[in-house]
Structure 1
Amino acid sequence: MTTDEELISAYLRYLVLQGRSDNTRRVYRGRLVELARLLGSGLLQATPDDIATWRAGLTVADPSVLCYAAAVKGFYAWAHSHGHIPANPAMHIPLPRQRQRLPRPISDADLEAAIDQAPARIRPWLVLAGYAGLRCCEIARLRRDGIVDTASGPALLVLGKGDKERLIPMSPYVWDHLQAAGLPRHGWVFLRRDGRPGHVPVGTVTADGNAHLRACGIRATMHQLRHRFGTSAYASSKDIRVVQELMGHSSPATTALYAAHSNADAVSAVAAIQPSETGRGARPVAGRRVS
């Protein structure tokens, strides 16, 4: 009889043939192992009611629900198509609606203050997120051979979502901070602190970076530093395609959201309908009650 571990391994090999990234396979494996532990009776014995109970028990945010559900739906679709089960019990998992939220960039003043107060280990992470637009997972997986010299200057060769590479020009500011952090001769740029081999865990970059921002009294997350890079890049270039390449977005529709913070026409339209400085609707004087 095929065990859950053997089934999961076979499914992951299938994902390799589909070209899915190492990170995607790692995440999917974790979700399937958790589901198998919850079911107890084996993955192939799951019923639609079992899957519905699993879904109802998820307490994570909507984006994580979508990720978890994708792992489970993909597994059972594969198991059904390969003859392991007669029907797909996960076909009708209810999913939250995907909402496109506008970027919420950290302010330049807050970013500069956070960098000034950051310990040496965290400072280059803030710089890479805020001034090169890297995701936390991309910071964690940055390799020394991904910091390259080009004809136009130093650049970052970043391995992004779906194992897609993109080249990001480095400003002197970013380059100086990376050098000050002490670049290794080869391998991972940011190592684990527990002595074990490998790069710093993605969760550590996220958690420690966010904790530092909170300690500085800044209500922002590491991802909002990346938002700052995207909105600033669009404000400077006014070129959606350029910003899409810099951010590593698969769809220009995602990049277009960053244009909302640089809509000069909207600013002009709102300014044109405000009351005059001398009219009855003039701005109130600070400290004076307006009746």
Structure 2
Amino acid sequence: MEWIDKYLEHVRVERRLAPRTVELYAFHLRALSDHAAEANLPLDRVQTAHIRRWMAQLHSAGREPRGIALVLSCWRSFYRWLGHEGLIGFNPVQDVHAPKAGRPLPKALGVDDAVRLAELYDPEADPWTESRDGAIVEMLYGCGLRVSELTGLDAQASATARGWIDLDAMEAHVLGKGSKRRSVPVGSKAAEALRDWLAVRGERQEPALFVSARGARMSSQAVWKLLRERSLKAGLAAPVHPHMLRHSFASHVLQSSSDLRAVQELLGHANIATTQVYTRLDFQHLAKVYDAAHPRAKARPDKDGK
């Protein structure tokens, strides 16, 4: 522990690390010392194989990759300092890296919450705004549009339109990422909401389908704001943002159809690997159903192993 105490003094005085950081270093280095003691090794005899084994133990115990990376960073700095002091000949942590963090699952609403948000009607709100906002929710959830695709829609097709609605064909023609065009089916509920909105929108010089009270094309920020306010009105547990409705659309279509290629086309993904993340959401949904319904199911532990 003498070397560890000297190193902590070094980072506290010479490197002037924050007290909280020094406390974390001390905690991680005590763990390193304990591992070495259990293996009957002095700290200067620790090898790369030992470090890898201890990292594997942390990983199997449920430590997140980011946490493992912080532990490794601390140990690596400690052994680098020992090398500078001439106390060791090589750094056993130098070529050890934390496991890659898994791609986080997109946040999606449950079906009941999505429907509650889509069916929300506030009788005290301005009818013009309420009709517009309801149509926006239906288009985001019912068509899986990106917010930029939604705000780029015009009420009618034209030579200058980035995207437009064809209610007769019940299709939305959108301009997606990489300036790629695609056609997306508009469901009956979304079509009904659009017809109601167009009836109160009236004739305007602005070609945009969705406009602000001042008559200008709605911005992405305005859509984010109205969704946050609308989700709170609907009593949802967390604020909703546009991409969450896109995730919900993809997850719910996949749960019902299991057609990954169709979901890829609907979302406009160039690579199906991008769409495959929703299979993980689909399995998560199936796992919850199994745990709730099967008499021999066992609840899965949470991230802390409880």
Per the normalisation by structure 2, the TM-score is 0.50
Secondary structure at the counterpart of residue 153 of structure 2? coil
CA distance in 1, matches of 2:220, 2:285: 39
SS at 1:178 equivalent: helix
Cα distance in 1 for residues equivalent to 2:289 and 2:113: 29
Tell me which residue corresponds to 1:117: 121
- Equivalent-residue separation in structure 2 for 1:164 and 1:253 (angstroms): 18
Query: Which secondary structure does the structure 2 equivalent of 1:194 belong to?
Result: coil
2:182 is aligned with 1:163: no
Larger radius of gyration: 2
The CA deviation at 1:257 is: 0.8
Matches within 5 A, 1:227-246: 227-246=247-266
Gaps of 5+ in 2: 1-99, 123-129, 158-163, 300-306
Counterpart in 1 of 2:214? 194
Alignment partner of 1:120: what SS?
Answer: helix
Q: Partners in 1 of 2:286 and 2:115 — Cα distance? A: 28
Give the counterpart letter for 2:144 in structure 1: G
Q: What secondary structure does 1:177 align onto?
A: helix
Kindly state the Cα deviation for residue 98 of structure 1 after the two structures are TM-superposed. 8.6
Could you tell me which residue of structure 1 aligns to residue 240 of structure 2?
Answer: 221
Seen in structure 2, the aligned counterparts of structure 1 residues 264 and 175 have a Cα distance that, compared at 3 Å, is same
Local SS of the residue matching 2:104? coil
- How far is the alpha carbon of 1:194 from its aligned partner? 2.9
Report SS of the residue matched to 1:181.
Answer: helix
Q: Aligned equivalents of 1:212 and 1:246: distance in 2? A: 25
| Alignment TM-score, normalising by the size of structure 1 | 0.53
Alignment pair present for 1:210 and 2:228: yes
Aligned length: 178
Q: Distance in 1 between matches of 2:109 and 2:289?
A: 25
Residues of 2 paired with 1:163 and 1:98: CA distance?
Answer: 31
Structure 2 match to 1:44? none
Between the aligned partners of 2:153 and 2:140, the Cα distance in structure 1 is 12
Counterparts of 1:19-98 in structure 2, within 5 Å, are: none
Mark the runs of 5 or more structure 1 residues left unpaired by the alignment: 1-96, 283-291
Change beyond 3 A, Cα 1:221–1:98: farther
Instruction: State the one-letter code of the partner of 1:231.
Output: S
Q: What value does the CA root-mean-square deviation take over the aligned residues? A: 3.4
Per-residue CA distance 1:170-201 (angstroms, 9 max, x = gap) = 11111111001116668210123234xx4111
Q: Kindly tell me: are residues 105 and 269 of structure 1, through their superposed partners in 2, closer, same or farther at Cα, counting changes over 3 Å?
A: closer
Aligned-residue offset at 1:234: 1.6
Verify: 1:106 aligned to 2:126, yes or no: no
Q: Offset of 1:117 from its aligned partner?
A: 2.9
Percent sequence identity over matched residues? 25
**Separation of aligned partners in 1, 2:207 and 2:271:** 31
Q: SS at the partner of 2:276?
A: helix
- Residue 156 of structure 1 aligns with an amino acid whose one-letter code is A
1:74 paired residue number? none
Could you tell me which of 268, 275, 294 is aligned with 1:248?
268
The change in CA–CA distance for 1:107 and 1:117 in structure 2 (over 3 A counts) is farther
Q: Deviations over 1:199-246 (max 9, x none)?
A: 111110112212221233211423211111101222233222211110
Alpha-carbon distance in 1 for matches of 2:167, 2:139? 17
